[in-house]
């Protein structure tokens, strides 16, 4: 927990409450290590990896009794190889994620979700990787399950700054090709991009047998579009500016946005991906708890409402 | 046009919604925005309807404010008051018609047009606010300042008269006053019934007047309050003649009147006949639009007076006609003839008994006319038309009230138009073919030299046999000059006898001669009464009794004091008809006959007369519903309009809100 204390985006209390739950994969995972997740193959891994301290609740069959005899302490014996769950966290860090509403920046909210999930997954013994979509391209940290790796991920998250524009669909296509083995892919973005290529990229992900979950992050302002005076809107991803009277354009803006959200949600349902629409004024712990519990129940998360 | 023009500044409030809208647009807030793709689509694709609705809302707000501001200004719907409210001039010249026809009662209001005009002037004065008011009335043509149009009603210069109006003279007086005083911005308020004979649309003076008015700076505006409603029931009585008759020891007066009526209703009309204060009533038969009545009344010898009066109708002013009679009048004439026979016959016709007060001098056209210092009533001129001094002398003689009878020369003369004699000329002499003489088939029997006799019998004009006749080239009426009128004509329509009024006198022209090879005029049956009547007409001015037209008559001397005769209260001979007396002279003044026939000009004709001038003609016809000719205020209409715009604005706003609410319901 030393890493937690240093990170503003991690809340120890939240982690403690959520750690009672297990982040589960809905699809069978391919891995050499005996783990919490259903494997696509029979048998288990036998290659020793490292020791770790016993934690209450651990299966005592993996206790190394010889170490206990020598040191009078409980150590769990872990085996090196591929874990059963490889989780790829994909975070959109383009300019639009930098929108700052009354409840903070969207990217900061996304970072909280990503960091918390990474922490939970690592501590339940799964490998976690991070892919950040930036204007400069896709920045990847490959999946690992060590505490040191988690620190690496958290460092990367802490250093993130939103800006520029990027082709999200292209980035997802690339990622789908790079992650060869079945993995759980969680995408955190506002998905403000053309719907057709985006859906195409997500389908590509599913084609690669990845367990796909989408977190669409929206600010309350972006949804309601309620302003009481004419506004000059400055694009976060370019230098484009637009002066308009929201009273005049609000109705059409909402219609356009709703159509986009509806297409994304319907498409996700059609090709079996989880879809979470997250308004950033909501408690992120609740968002994560809902997601994890839905996974545990084995249902498809498809929250279209205020998730 | 508004009653509270200052409130029109409130119309600026209509710009408030637009200004607020623009200010709102200027004070926009900047916001870094992520979901730009939806915003661009929203502004690009389907905002037209929303924009239209918002502009409509804005327009409704602006129009509602404008309506309320305009309602506060109390707008008027047209009419005389509306016309006079266009700005505040420095001076208003009121040209006021006091002619007899202005006394016609309005059919509904039962108020003379003159008083209705005064009432509307007063209303306009209460609303207006010109620096000063100048009145020029039709009777005096003298500009006089008045405190306000309201004060005009009680003033002498707005009272009823029996005169005619001379509108070119009124406008001339106004133009001269404006040019002399340079008062700044001026309005002319014209109050008139547009009586055609008063406006004289054929006058050559109008183009010059219009040009003078149009040339005045700053621009003069003419606002005409027209009261052209025709009387519903009106008869007018006009005097033709009143002559004393002496038959042995019996004295009488023969009175001839003309009765005109617009309605053309035959029937018996009771007429009050007042002779020297004695009142009798007699019924006269009316045949239609025009009746000629003659009645001989027993009267004492000497001078006398009287009047006839019709029953009350829509114009009380034209119901009465005055006359005076009696006294010894010198009946003297001068005959200037080329043909000796014609000269002698004409001399006999003028003075059958050449003695005492009845005399006739004989000369030739080549001799100087000896008219000065004599009581000559008639000049008979037989021969080529005079020229030069003789023509001017004849014209002056007629202008002073004399009568001139022209007879043709026996020899053919080239066609010469004599300007001095009002463009009258003799044409070729025409002889009757075979044994068929020219016959006179039409002659005026109601009045004039060929009128029927006192006992009602016609002169034997039809029996005249004319073997030779001279063509008469007669000028028509021009401008203010009356034209030649044919009093008798041959079967082919060519004139036998024509007349033209010249000043206070008259010219006559007869187409034939009393020569044996010309006609049988020499038998005297037509010639003598014809010439005698002309002589009586020309000698009237030497009579101690005189008939004249009110307005046209002026006292010969400023020392003469004319007072009303009888018990009638009209005491101003310059403007009021009646019988007046100055020493041993008696005067009967009557309305001009032109006032008895109401033929108004149209508004377009008035505008045409004043071409180039800013003229607005408002015809004030009495409303059948309200009985009022004043325009109504229409501010309630604008209040209603304002409320309607506000309701429309509310409806459009609710549409907007409803649309948003539906979308809000579907929001995540």
Interface predicted TM-score (ipTM): 0.81
Q: Which of A79, A102, A127 is the last residue of a domain?
A: A79
Is A81 a residue whose pLDDT tops 90? no
Q: Are residues A64 and A181 in the same domain?
A: no
The residue among B481, B629, B482, B491 whose CA lies nearest residue B107 is: B629
CB contact at 8 A, B409 and B344: no
Question: Does any domain span residue A12?
Answer: yes
Contact call for B36 and A230, based on CB within 8 A: no
CA distance B145 to A265: 92
CA distance B537 to B528: 14
Closest residue on chain A to B22 (Cα):
A230
Confidence of residue A178 (pLDDT cuts 50, 70, 90): confident
Question: Does any domain span residue A138?
Answer: yes
Cβ-proximal residues to B582 (8 Å cutoff; 6+ apart), any chain: B555, B560, B561, B562, B563
Contact call for A229 and B660, based on CB within 8 A: no
pLDDT at B406: 93
The residue among A134, A136, A114 whose CA lies nearest residue A188 is: A114
Is B651 a residue whose pLDDT tops 80? yes
Contact call for B33 and A234, based on CB within 8 A: yes
From the CA of B657, how many Å to the nearest CA of chain A?
10
Cβ-proximal residues to B73 (8 Å cutoff; 6+ apart), any chain: B2, B3, B4, B5, B6, B7, B8, B10, B635
Question: Does any domain span residue A139?
Answer: yes
Find the mean pLDDT for residues B648-665. Answer: 69
3-state secondary structure of A235: strand
Closest residue to B660, CB basis, from A99, A190, A251:
A251
For residue B54, list chain A residues with Cβ-Cβ distance below 8 A. Answer: 245, 247-248
Closest residue on chain A to B668 (Cα):
A305
Q: Are residues A127 and A164 in the same domain?
A: yes
Sign of CA dihedral A115, A121, A122, A124: positive
Is A41 a residue whose pLDDT tops 80? no
CA distance A174 to A131: 11
Any B CB within 8 A of A92 CB: no
Any B CB within 8 A of A12 CB: no
Contact call for B41 and A233, based on CB within 8 A: no
Contact call for B34 and A251, based on CB within 8 A: no
Q: Are residues A258 and A205 in the same domain?
A: yes
CB burial of residue B521 (10 Å; 0-12, 13-18, 19+): buried
Q: Which of A79, A100, A132 is the last residue of a domain?
A: A79
Cβ-proximal residues to A69 (8 Å cutoff; 6+ apart), any chain: none
A 227-246 near B (Cβ less than 8 A): 227, 229-237, 240, 242-245
CB contact at 8 A, A163 and A95: yes
Long-range contacts at B349-354 (CB < 8 A, ≥ 24 apart): B349/B514, B349/B524, B349/B527, B349/B528, B349/B530, B349/B531, B349/B532, B350/B378, B350/B380, B350/B531, B350/B532, B350/B535, B352/B528
Confidence of residue B569 (pLDDT cuts 50, 70, 90): low
pLDDT at A213: 93
pLDDT at A125: 81
Q: What is the separation of C-alpha B656 from the centre of its chain, rounded to a whole number of angstroms?
A: 67
Q: Are residues A143 and A256 in the same domain?
A: yes
DSSP state of A301: P
From first CA to last CA, the distance across chain A in angstroms is 28
- The three-point CA angle B122-B126-B128 to 5° equals 105
Confidence of residue B546 (pLDDT cuts 50, 70, 90): confident
Is B562 a residue whose pLDDT tops 80? yes
CA distance B664 to A254: 9
Any A CB within 8 A of B41 CB: yes
Any A CB within 8 A of B43 CB: yes
Q: Are residues A218 and A124 in the same domain?
A: yes
Q: Which residues pair with B278 in a beta bridge?
A: B275
CB burial of residue B616 (10 Å; 0-12, 13-18, 19+): middle
Contact call for A248 and B47, based on CB within 8 A: yes
From the CA of B48, how many Å to the nearest CA of chain A?
9
Estimate the crossing angle of helix B36-44 against helix A246-270, to 10 degrees.
120
Question: Does any domain span residue A220?
Answer: yes
pLDDT at B628: 44
pLDDT at A263: 94
Which of A115 and B89 is assigned the larger pLDDT? A115
pLDDT at A5: 52
Find the mean pLDDT for residues B274-282. Answer: 90
Contact call for A236 and B660, based on CB within 8 A: no
pLDDT at B162: 92
B132-137: strand order across its sheet: B144-146, B132-137, B91-96, B186-192, B221-226, B614-619
Q: Which of A31, A62, A79 is the last residue of a domain?
A: A79
Q: What residues make up the domain containing A66?
A: 48-79
Question: Does any domain span residue A43?
Answer: no
For residue B663, list chain A residues with Cβ-Cβ distance below 8 A. Answer: 251, 254-255
pLDDT at A32: 42
Please give the mean pLDDT across all residues of chain B: 84
3-state secondary structure of B492: coil
Contact call for B36 and A236, based on CB within 8 A: yes
Any A CB within 8 A of B32 CB: yes
B267-275: strand order across its sheet: B278-286, B267-275, B304-309, B320-325
Of A91-95, A298-302, A303-307, B69-73, highest mean pLDDT: A91-95
From first CA to last CA, the distance across chain B in angstroms is 58
CB burial of residue B416 (10 Å; 0-12, 13-18, 19+): exposed
Of A171-185, A256-270, B140-154, B542-556, highest mean pLDDT: A256-270
Contact call for B34 and A249, based on CB within 8 A: no
Contact call for B43 and A249, based on CB within 8 A: yes
Contact call for B668 and A98, based on CB within 8 A: no
Determine how β-strand B495-502 pairs with β-strand B485-490: antiparallel
- The model's pLDDT over B69-106, given as tens digits with 9 standing for 90+, comes to 888 887 766 566 665 655 678 888 999 999 999 999 87
Q: What is the separation of C-alpha B474 from the centre of its chain, rounded to a whole number of angstroms?
A: 25
Q: What is the separation of C-alpha B156 from the centre of its chain, rounded to a whole number of angstroms?
A: 21
**Cis, peptide link before residue B229, omega less than 30° from 0:** no
Kindly report which listed range (B27-36, B85-94, B257-266) carries the lowest average pLDDT score: B85-94
pLDDT at B412: 66
Question: Does any domain span residue A238?
Answer: yes
Q: Are residues A71 and A179 in the same domain?
A: no
How many Cα atoms sit within 13 Å of A219 on the Cβ side? 21
Q: Are residues A68 and A169 in the same domain?
A: no
Phi, psi of A303 (to 5 degrees): -60, 110
How many Cα atoms sit within 13 Å of A123 on the Cβ side? 19
Is A144 a residue whose pLDDT tops 50? yes
Cβ-proximal residues to A113 (8 Å cutoff; 6+ apart), any chain: A188, A215, A278, A284, A287, A288
The residue among A23, A34, A32, A40 whose CA lies nearest residue A182 is: A40
For residue A97, list chain B residues with Cβ-Cβ distance below 8 A. Answer: 34
Closest residue to A242, CB basis, from B40, B663, B668:
B40
Please give the mean pLDDT across all residues of chain A: 83
Q: How many CB pairs below 8 Å do chains A and B form together?
A: 120
Question: Does any domain span residue A251?
Answer: yes
Q: Which helix (H) or strand (E) holds A101?
A: strand A100-101
Contact call for A192 and B27, based on CB within 8 A: no
- The three-point CA angle B418-B510-B455 to 5° equals 140
CA distance A123 to A3: 12
Q: Are residues A172 and A194 in the same domain?
A: yes
Find the mean pLDDT for residues B360-369. Answer: 87
SS3 letters across B38-58: HHHHHHHCCCHHHHHHHHHHH
- The three-point CA angle B201-B205-B211 to 5° equals 105
Phi, psi of A213 (to 5 degrees): -135, 135
Kindly report which listed range (A236-245, B7-16, B472-481, B545-554) carries the lowest average pLDDT score: B472-481
Phi, psi of B426 (to 5 degrees): -85, 140
Any B CB within 8 A of A110 CB: no
Q: What is the separation of C-alpha B112 from the centre of its chain, rounded to a whole number of angstroms?
A: 16
Find the mean pLDDT for residues A217-228. Answer: 92
- The model's pLDDT over B206-228, given as tens digits with 9 standing for 90+, comes to 999 999 999 888 888 898 888 88
Within 10 Å of residue B447's Cβ, how many Cβ atoms?
15
Any B CB within 8 A of A208 CB: no
3-state secondary structure of A133: strand
Contact call for A229 and B33, based on CB within 8 A: no
- The model's pLDDT over A224-269, given as tens digits with 9 standing for 90+, comes to 999 888 888 999 998 888 888 787 788 889 989 999 999 999 999 9
Q: Are residues A177 and A128 in the same domain?
A: yes
Confidence of residue B621 (pLDDT cuts 50, 70, 90): low
CA distance B483 to B224: 30
DSSP of B165-192, one letter per residue? --HHHHHHHHHHHHHHH--SSEEEEEEE
- Give the count of domains, chain A: 2
Q: Which residues pair with A128 in a beta bridge?
A: A87, A144
From the CA of A284, how many Å to the nearest CA of chain B?
17
Is B660 a residue whose pLDDT tops 80? no
- The model's pLDDT over B122-172, given as tens digits with 9 standing for 90+, comes to 877 766 666 789 999 999 999 999 988 888 888 888 899 999 999 999 999
| Percentage of chain A lying above the pLDDT 70 cut | 84
Contact call for B42 and A231, based on CB within 8 A: no
Q: Are residues A106 and A211 in the same domain?
A: yes
Any B CB within 8 A of A262 CB: no
Is B392 a residue whose pLDDT tops 50? yes
Q: Which helix (H) or strand (E) holds B663?
A: helix B635-665
For residue B41, list chain A residues with Cβ-Cβ distance below 8 A. Answer: 252, 256
Confidence of residue B666 (pLDDT cuts 50, 70, 90): very low
For residue A253, list chain B residues with Cβ-Cβ distance below 8 A. Answer: 38-39, 42
Contact call for B667 and A234, based on CB within 8 A: no
Find the mean pLDDT for residues A77-81. Answer: 62
For residue A277, list chain B residues with Cβ-Cβ distance below 8 A. Answer: 668
CB contact at 8 A, B140 and B174: no
Helices (H), B167-277: 167-181, 196-199, 205-214
Helices (H), chain A: 2-6, 12-18, 65-71, 106-123, 147-158, 168-178, 195-207, 220-224, 246-270, 284-297
Q: Are residues A64 and A88 in the same domain?
A: no
Torsion (CA) B446, B451, B457, B458 in degrees, nearest 10: -100
Question: Does any domain span residue A123?
Answer: yes
Contact call for A253 and B31, based on CB within 8 A: no
Find the mean pLDDT for residues A39-59. Answer: 63
Closest residue to B32, CB basis, from A236, A253, A305:
A236
Is A28 a residue whose pLDDT tops 60? no
Confidence of residue B626 (pLDDT cuts 50, 70, 90): very low
Kindly report which listed range (A94-103, B130-139, B186-195, B658-667) carries the lowest average pLDDT score: B658-667
CA distance B566 to B505: 29
The residue among A95, A27, A108 whose CA lies nearest residue A278 is: A108
Q: Are residues A216 and A165 in the same domain?
A: yes
| Percentage of chain B lying above the pLDDT 70 cut | 87
CA distance A240 to A99: 15
Find the mean pLDDT for residues A213-217. Answer: 94
CATH number (domain holding residue A282) = 3.40.50.410
Q: Which helix (H) or strand (E) holds B644?
A: helix B635-665
CA distance B363 to B383: 12
- The model's pLDDT over B415-441, given as tens digits with 9 standing for 90+, comes to 555 555 656 788 888 898 877 899 999
């Amino acid at each position: 927990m030393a890493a937690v204390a240093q990170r503003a985006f991690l809340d120890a209390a939240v982690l403690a409450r959520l750690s009672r739950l297990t982040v589960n994969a809905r699809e069978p995972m391919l891995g050499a290590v005996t783990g919490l997740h259903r494997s696509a193959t029979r048998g288990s891994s036998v290659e020793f990896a490292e020791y770790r301290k016993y934690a209450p609740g651990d299966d005592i069959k993996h206790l190394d009794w010889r170490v206990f005899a020598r040191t009078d302490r409980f150590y769990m014996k872990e085996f090196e190889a591929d874990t059963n769950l490889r989780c790829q966290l994909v975070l959109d860090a383009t300019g639009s994620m930098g929108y700052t509403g009354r409840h903070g920046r969207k990217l900061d909210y996304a970072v909280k979700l990503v960091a918390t999930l990474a922490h939970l997954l690592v501590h339940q013994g799964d490998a976690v990787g991070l892919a950040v979509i930036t204007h400069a391209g896709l920045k990847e940290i490959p999946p690992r399950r060590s505490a040191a790796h988690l620190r690496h991920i958290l460092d990367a998250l802490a250093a993130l700054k939103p800006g520029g524009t990027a082709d999200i669909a292209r980035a997802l296509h690339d990622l789908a090709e790079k992650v060869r083995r079945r993995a759980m892919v969680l995408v955190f973005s506002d998905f403000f991009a053309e719907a057709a290529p985006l859906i195409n990229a997500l389908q590509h992900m599913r084609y690669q047998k990845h367990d796909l979950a989408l977190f669409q992050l929206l600010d309350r302002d972006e949804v309601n579009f309620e302003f009481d005076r004419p506004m000059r809107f400055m694009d976060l991803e370019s230098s484009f500016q637009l002066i308009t009277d929201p009273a005049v354009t609000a109705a059409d803006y909402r219609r356009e946005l709703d159509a986009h959200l509806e297409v994304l949600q319907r498409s996700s349902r059609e090709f079996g991906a989880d879809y979470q629409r997250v308004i950033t004024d909501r408690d992120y712990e609740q968002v994560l708890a809902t997601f994890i519990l839905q996974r545990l129940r084995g249902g498809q998360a498809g929250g279209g409402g205020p998730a | 046009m508004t009653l509270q023009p200052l409130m029109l500044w409130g119309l600026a409030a209509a710009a408030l919604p637009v200004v607020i809208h623009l200010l709102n647009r200027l004070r926009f807030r900047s916001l870094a925005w992520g979901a730009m793709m939806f915003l661009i689509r929203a502004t690009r694709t389907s905002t037209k309807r929303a924009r239209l609705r918002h502009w409509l809302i804005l327009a409704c707000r602006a129009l509602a404010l404008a309506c309320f501001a305009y309602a506060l200004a109390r707008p008027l719907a047209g009419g005389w008051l509306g016309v006079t409210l266009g700005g505040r001039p420095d001076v208003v010249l009121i040209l006021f018609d006091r002619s007899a026809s202005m006394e016609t009662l309005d059919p509904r209001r039962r108020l003379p047009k003159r008083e209705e005009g005064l009432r509307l002037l007063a209303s306009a004065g209460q609303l207006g606010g010109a620096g000063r008011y100048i009145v020029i009335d039709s009777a005096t043509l003298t500009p006089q300042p008045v405190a306000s149009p309201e004060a005009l009603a009680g003033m002498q210069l707005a009272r009823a008269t029996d005169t005619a109006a001379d509108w070119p003279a009124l406008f001339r007086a106004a133009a001269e006053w404006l040019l002399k005083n340079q008062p700044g911005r001026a309005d002319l308020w014209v109050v008139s019934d547009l009586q055609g004979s008063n406006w004289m649309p054929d006058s050559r003076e109008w183009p010059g007047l219009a040009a003078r008015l149009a040339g005045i700076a700053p621009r003069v505006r003419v606002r005409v309050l027209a009261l052209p409603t025709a009387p519903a029931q009106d008869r007018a009585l006009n005097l033709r003649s009143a002559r004393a008759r002496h038959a042995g020891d019996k004295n009488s007066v023969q009175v001839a009147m003309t009765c005109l009526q617009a309605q053309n209703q035959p029937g018996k009309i009771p007429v009050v006949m007042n002779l020297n204060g004695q009142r009798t009533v007699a019924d006269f038969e009316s045949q239609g639009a025009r009746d000629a009545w003659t009645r001989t009344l027993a009267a004492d010898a000497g001078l006398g007076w009287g009047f006839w009066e019709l029953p009350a109708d829509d114009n009380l002013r034209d119901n009465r006609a005055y006359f005076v009679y009696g006294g010894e009048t010198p009946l003297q004439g001068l005959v200037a003839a080329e043909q000796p026979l014609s000269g002698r016959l004409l001399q006999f016709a003028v003075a059958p008994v050449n003695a005492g007060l009845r005399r006739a001098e004989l000369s030739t056209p080549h001799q100087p006319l000896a008219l000065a210092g004599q009581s000559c009533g008639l000049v008979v001129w037989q021969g080529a038309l005079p020229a030069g001094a003789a023509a001017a002398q004849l014209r002056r003689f007629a202008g002073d009230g004399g009568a001139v009878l022209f007879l043709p020369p026996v020899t053919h003369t080239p066609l010469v138009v004599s300007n001095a004699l009002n463009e009258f000329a003799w044409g070729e002499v025409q002889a009757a073919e075979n044994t068929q003489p020219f016959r006179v088939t039409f002659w005026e029997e109601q009045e004039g030299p060929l009128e029927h006799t006192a006992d009602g019998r016609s002169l034997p004009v039809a029996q005249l046999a004319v073997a030779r006749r001279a063509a008469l080239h007669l000028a028509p009426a021009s401008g203010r000059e009356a034209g030649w009128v044919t009093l008798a004509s041959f079967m082919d329509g060519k004139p036998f006898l024509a007349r033209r009024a010249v000043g206070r006198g008259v010219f006559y022209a007869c187409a034939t001669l009393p020569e044996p090879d010309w006609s049988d005029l020499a038998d005297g049956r037509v010639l003598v009464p014809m010439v005698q009547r002309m002589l009586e007409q020309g000698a009237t001015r030497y009579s101690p009794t005189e008939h004249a037209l009110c307005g046209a008559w002026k006292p010969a001397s400023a020392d003469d004091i004319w007072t009303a005769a009888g018990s009638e209260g009209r005491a101003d001979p310059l403007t009021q008809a009646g019988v007046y007396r100055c020493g041993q002279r008696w005067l009967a003044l009557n309305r001009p006959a032109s006032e008895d026939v109401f033929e108004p000009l149209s508004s377009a004709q008035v505008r045409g007369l004043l071409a180039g001038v800013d003229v607005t003609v408002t015809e004030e016809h009495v409303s059948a519903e309200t009985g009022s000719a004043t325009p109504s205020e229409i501010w309630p209409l604008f209040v209603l309009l304002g409320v309607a715009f506000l309701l429309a604005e509310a409806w459009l706003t609710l549409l907007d809100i409803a649309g948003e609410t539906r979308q809000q319901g579907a929001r995540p």
